[in-house]
């Protein structure tokens, strides 16, 4: 019994590994998807290499005391300095971690809520499904930036709270998608067979329905990350977040409020803006490519 269990598990993992490399192989032939993956790798390395590029202490307000304010790029400061003399490059590299962390954590929150709501609303019938759909409708219709703003004002302005708030406001679309997929899966013969053999709802959802929607969840999650990063930059720009550990959006807020635009201190506002565009493009291109790979009907779009 133990041995056959182990064998089945090994087979499952083998299949998953092959599926993973199969997706990678297909990605190599999907040009936008491949570019997205490369860009993403670049930003990932950039974030990992932060300690090698700049010391964290360069983020402290005191670090800029002896430097010129809003100085143009030079050999010492490749990206110039901000309004209190801090190195912009240091804030940019360390900011990549903040932006990525909030984007990924928010996506995790959104995917968990969206998957649970989508799976249950699709699998259960009757009142449970109707109530979940009504909640989903509410979150789809209510404008999500104002909603995120009032939540963040009441709950707090720290990066972690921001991530939770963003996740909490952006799951409705994926719940809808996942539910639609579950509705078709539950009518499949293998699901009916499992039910006929006496499998409980929980078992069927976990073993038969979830694997069927997993590709959709993965592609969808990849497309939530860029939206979460954009939302984070917007909220930071409006004053949330931490000035001493700035995300890219917070840097743009600093650039805006310090008047760097009026004196055309492009080295201050251009890099964080371009980084946001780059990372959002990377995730979007990769996500759309994954959608194409997982759903052959979308090929050729």
Partner 1 sequence: MSWRYLLKKVGGAFLTMAVVVVFNFFLFRIVDRDPLAKYRGRSKLTPEQRETMIRRMGLEGSKWDQFVVYVKSVFRLDFGRSFDSTQPVLEEIKMRLPATLLLVGVSTLLTIFIGLYIGTKAGWRRGSRFDKASTSASMVLYSTPEFFFGMLLLAFVAGRTGWFPTGGLRTVGADHDFVGNILDRLHHLVLPMLTLTLGYLGSYALIMRTSMIETLGEDYLVTARAKGLKDSEVMSRHAVPNALLPSVSLIAISCGYIIGGAITTETVFSYPGLGLATANAIQNNDLPMLQALFMLASAAVILFNLIADIIYAFLDPRVKRVE
**DSSP classification of residue 267:** H
122 vs 254 by CB, closer to partner 1 = 254
Find the Cα–Cα–Cα–Cα dihedral 219, 222, 228, 230, rounded to 10°.
-110
Stretch that binds partner 1, among 11-19, 65-73, 145-153, 184-192 (CB under 8 A): 145-153
Tokens standing for residue 180: 């639609």
11 vs 261 by CB, closer to partner 1 = 261
CA distance 117 to 140: 13
Kindly tell me which residue out of 53, 199, 218, 281 binds partner 1, with binding defined by CB under 8 A.
281
79 closest CA partner among 260, 232, 242, 216: 260
Within residues 216-235, the interface with partner 1 by CB under 8 A covers 226, 230, 233-234
Binding of partner 1 by 2 (CB under 8 A): no
CA distance 177 to 143: 19
81 closest CA partner among 57, 55, 63, 98: 63
Tokens standing for residue 111: 């995917």
Tokens standing for residue 178: 């996942």
> CB within 8 A of 22, min separation 6: which ones?
none
CA distance 257 to 245: 17
Kindly tell me which residue out of 154, 189, 196, 197 binds partner 1, with binding defined by CB under 8 A.
154
Within residues 240-279, the interface with partner 1 by CB under 8 A covers 240, 249, 252, 255-256, 261-262, 264, 266, 269, 273, 276-277
Binding of partner 1 by 189 (CB under 8 A): no
| Residue 134 beta carbon to partner 1: minimum distance, rounded to whole angstroms | 9
| Residue 277 beta carbon to partner 1: minimum distance, rounded to whole angstroms | 5
Own/partner contacts of 250-256, CB < 8 Å, gap of 24 or more, are 250/95, 250/98, 251/88, 251/91, 251/92, 251/95, 252/276, 254/82, 254/83, 255/82
Binding of partner 1 by 145 (CB under 8 A): yes
Tokens 């995120």, located at residue: 148
Binding of partner 1 by 155 (CB under 8 A): yes
| Residue 285 beta carbon to partner 1: minimum distance, rounded to whole angstroms | 7
Within residues 56-115, the interface with partner 1 by CB under 8 A covers none
75 vs 141 by CB, closer to partner 1 = 141
Kindly tell me which residue out of 280, 286, 289, 290 binds partner 1, with binding defined by CB under 8 A.
280
123 vs 267 by CB, closer to partner 1 = 267
| Residue 137 beta carbon to partner 1: minimum distance, rounded to whole angstroms | 7
Kindly tell me which residue out of 77, 94, 123, 144 binds partner 1, with binding defined by CB under 8 A.
144
**DSSP classification of residue 208:** I
Which stretches of the chain bind partner 1, using CB under 8 A? 137-138, 140-147, 149-151, 153-155, 226, 230, 233-234, 237-240, 249, 252, 255-256, 261-262, 264, 266, 269, 273, 276-277, 280-281, 284-285, 300-301
């Amino acid at each position: 019994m133990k041995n056959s269990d182990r064998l089945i598990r090994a087979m499952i993992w083998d299949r998953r590994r092959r599926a993973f490399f199969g997706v990678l192989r297909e990605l190599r032939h999907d040009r936008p998807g491949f570019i997205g993956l490369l860009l993403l790798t670049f930003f990932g390395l950039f974030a990992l290499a932060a300690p090698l590029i700049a010391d964290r202490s360069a983020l402290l307000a005191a670090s800029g005391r002896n430097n010129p304010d809003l100085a143009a790029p030079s050999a010492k400061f490749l990206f110039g300095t901000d309004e209190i003399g801090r190195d912009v490059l240091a804030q940019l590299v360390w900011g990549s971690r903040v932006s990525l962390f909030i984007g990924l954590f928010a996506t995790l929150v959104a995917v968990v809520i969206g998957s649970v709501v989508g799976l249950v609303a699709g699998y259960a019938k009757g009142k449970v499904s109707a109530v979940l759909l009504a909640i989903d409708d509410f979150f789809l219709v209510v404008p999500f930036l104002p909603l995120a703003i009032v939540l963040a004002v009441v709950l707090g302005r720290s990066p972690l709270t921001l991530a939770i708030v963003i996740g909490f406001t952006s799951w409705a679309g994926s719940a809808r998608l996942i539910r639609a997929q579950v509705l078709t899966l539950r009518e499949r013969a293998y699901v009916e067979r499992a039910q006929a053999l006496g499998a409980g709802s929980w078992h069927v959802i976990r073993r038969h329905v979830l694997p069927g929607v997993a590709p959709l969840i993965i592609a969808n999650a990849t497309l939530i990350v860029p939206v979460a990063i954009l939302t984070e930059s917007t909220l930071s720009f409006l004053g949330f977040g931490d000035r001493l550990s700035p995300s890219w959006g917070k840097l743009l807020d600093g650039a805006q409020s310090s008047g760097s635009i009026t004196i055309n201190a492009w080295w201050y506002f251009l890099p964080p803006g371009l980084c946001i565009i780059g990372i959002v493009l990377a995730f979007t291109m990769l996500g759309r490519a994954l959608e194409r790979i997982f759903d052959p009907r979308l090929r050729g779009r």
